[in-house]
Copies of this chain bind each other. A is one copy, B any other.
Amino acid sequence: MPISKTTPEAILRAAWIVFHRQGYHHTSLQQLADAAGLGKAGILHHFKSKAGVMRATLAFAADWYQRKVLAKAQGPGTVAERLEAVLRKQFDLVQLNEDGGCFFGNTILETGVEGPFTEELKRFHVDWTAAITALLAEEFPEEEARERTYRIFADYQGSVVLFKLYHDTSHLERLIKRVLSSLAAPLSPGAK
């Protein structure tokens, strides 16, 4: 008895949680199926392999990121306020799923180079960089905005490592303080 019309999106939503919490290799199709309330074959009916599910999940998450996180870079408020809003929203995700860290960062380190996910992972970084650079460009010259964005990204990813290591959100708070106060200071040298 078929039934129920599980949407692919519902599967991805469930898969996101599981992949985020456990990583790609440590997640089994069975777990994805359980999370989505389908059989394993049901999952593969929609996405033709485990890697396919992952790819779609990354795309789905990047999309969501764009709409729910990076969108906060636009709209009313000062540059600092909007930057803080983006970072705080980002941290909500980091703390989700039993403190899973950054889904994209995790996946970059786990599947890295040879992985079949490079495209989606790069898209995330490109999106992120574009949004934050555009925001900072309201206040700094283009070139400088780009450099500042770059440094914030690195600082963010590094802070997530500390957060995961010590399970302590203060590392994320410190990042926000650091980033916001850096906006008020001239850019230290060390650029590309």
Contacts and interface: CB of A to CB of B under 8 A. Distances in A.
Interface of A: 23, 25-26, 98-101, 105-106, 108-110, 112-114, 118, 121-122, 125, 150-151, 153-162, 164-167, 170, 174-175, 177-182, 185, 188-192
B105 A161 contact: yes
A182 B114 CA distance: 34
A190 B162 contact: no
B185 A188 contact: yes
Number of copies: 4
Given A25-B25, A182-B188, A108 B164 contact: yes
Contacts of A100: 112
Nearest to A170: B192
Contact of A190 (B101, B153, B177, B190): B177
A45 B98 CA distance: 31
Contacts of A153: 158, 162
Q: Which of A100, A101, A113, A162 has the most CB of B within 10 A?
A: A113
A167 B25 contact: no
30 contacts: A23-B25, A23-B110, A98-B114, A99-B112, A99-B113, A108-B161, A109-B109, A112-B164, A113-B164, A113-B167, A121-B165, A122-B165, A122-B166, A125-B162, A151-B155, A154-B158, A154-B161, A154-B175, A155-B158, A157-B158, A157-B162, A158-B158, A170-B192, A177-B189, A177-B190, A179-B190, A181-B189, A181-B190, A185-B188, A185-B189
